[in-house]
Amino acid sequence: MTLAFRGDLSVAQVERDYPEIFAVSWRRRLIHGLSWGISLAMLLYGLVIFDFSPMRLWDGLGQLGMLVRFMVPPATEPALVWEFLKAIFETLAMAFIGTFFAALLAVPFAFLSARNVFRFRLGRFGIRRSMDFLRGVDQLVWALIFVRAVGLGPLAGVLAIIISDIGTLAKLFSESVEGCDRKPGEGVAASGGSTLQCTRFGILPQALPMFISSTLYMFESNVRSATILGIVGAGGIGYQLSERIRGHHWEEVATILILILVTVYLIDWVSGKIRGRLIEGE
């Protein structure tokens, strides 16, 4: 279909004369309508079977309001606060050690799952899927397993952090490795370097700052997640928190929550500073 040239053309006129140009195709409409319909239907179905009745929500909110009233004022006995602080330090220590070893152990897996370093496709596939497996199981499930294996306490938490973070960090690291410029590596190869030397001198120097930056991000994230590992007995402040919630000591719960908030802010701030320095320094 062609439009004859008309000097007096206006959009409204064209729209009136050739409605088919402006019409949205029925297929598009159908797909749109169907996807919206299915999404909404799923939401409604979920709300119904999970019993999101206004009555229940209202009752719950009332209960929640009561809990919040019990939380004020938060507990401030020095002995108690010191006990919580010790647990917070334990949490930070778990996150630190866990992140450090996870980063160390993730490096070889990252190189072996990067396309530009490890050419053996099947091996790469196997390693990537294993990393997906480590990442697919939630940290808390790993913690449950390690508590069964090595007993209650922070060691189980550290192991859980290490195992699940190897999966995450190996993926992040391998993405950084794949983003590297391959020319320095080619230079090393041209002057007679082995594959290992190409990786060490051609790729690692480019990837290292990104490795460190991802590791710091992971540390921040681990401080948050380490606060809940204690719920299953894997050390840290989570144990105190879940005990207090189970025992209805709401004013102590409030103190712990405030301490967690402050710690997380502080850690994010410090880690942001260090990251800024590193990126600026490069």
Partner 1 sequence: MSSQHEHAGSDAWQAFCALQQQARIEKHRVWILGGVVFLALFLTSAYLSHFSPGRIAEGLPKVHEYIGKILPELGVATFRQDMAYWFYAFPDWMVLLGETLLMAYVATLLGTFGAIVLGFVAARNVGPSRGSTILARRLLEVARTVPDLVYALIFVFAFGLGPLAGILAIAIHSMGASGKLFSEAIENIDLKPLDGLKAAGANWVQGMRFAVFPLVAPSLVSYSLWRFEINVRTATVMGIVGAGGIGQELITAIRMLYYSDISALILLIVISVSLTDMLCERIRHGFIGKENLS
Where does this chain bind partner 1 (CB under 8 A)?
39, 42-43, 45-47, 49-52, 56-57, 59-61, 63-64, 67, 89-90, 92-94, 96-98, 100, 132-133, 136-138, 140-141, 144-146, 148-150, 153-155, 157-159, 224-225, 227-228, 231-232, 235, 241-242, 245, 253, 257, 260-261, 264-265
Of the two residues 81 and 245, which places its CB atom closer to partner 1 in the complex?
245
Of the two residues 118 and 146, which places its CB atom closer to partner 1 in the complex?
146
CA distance 241 to 246: 9
Of the two residues 141 and 196, which places its CB atom closer to partner 1 in the complex?
141
Of the two residues 18 and 82, which places its CB atom closer to partner 1 in the complex?
82
Nearest distance, CB of residue 134 and partner 1, angstroms: 9
DSSP 81: H
How would you label 246-255 residue by residue, b for 16+ Cβ within 10 Å and e otherwise? eeebbebbbb
Of the two residues 153 and 184, which places its CB atom closer to partner 1 in the complex?
153
Nearest distance, CB of residue 281 and partner 1, angstroms: 10
Nearest distance, CB of residue 179 and partner 1, angstroms: 11
CB 88 within 8 A of CB 259: yes
Of the two residues 193 and 224, which places its CB atom closer to partner 1 in the complex?
224
CB 119 within 8 A of CB 182: no
Q: How far is CA 256 from CA 80, 94, 114, 261, 270, in A?
A: 10, 18, 42, 9, 21
CB 247 within 8 A of CB 75: no
Nearest distance, CB of residue 201 and partner 1, angstroms: 20
State both tokens at 94.
Answer: 């778990």
CA distance 202 to 209: 14
State both tokens at 86.
Answer: 């010790």
DSSP 13: H
CA distance 77 to 138: 36
Of the two residues 195 and 242, which places its CB atom closer to partner 1 in the complex?
242
Nearest distance, CB of residue 123 and partner 1, angstroms: 19
DSSP 236: S
CA distance 106 to 226: 19
Nearest distance, CB of residue 124 and partner 1, angstroms: 17
**Residue 277 Cα to chain centre, angstroms:** 23
Nearest distance, CB of residue 35 and partner 1, angstroms: 10
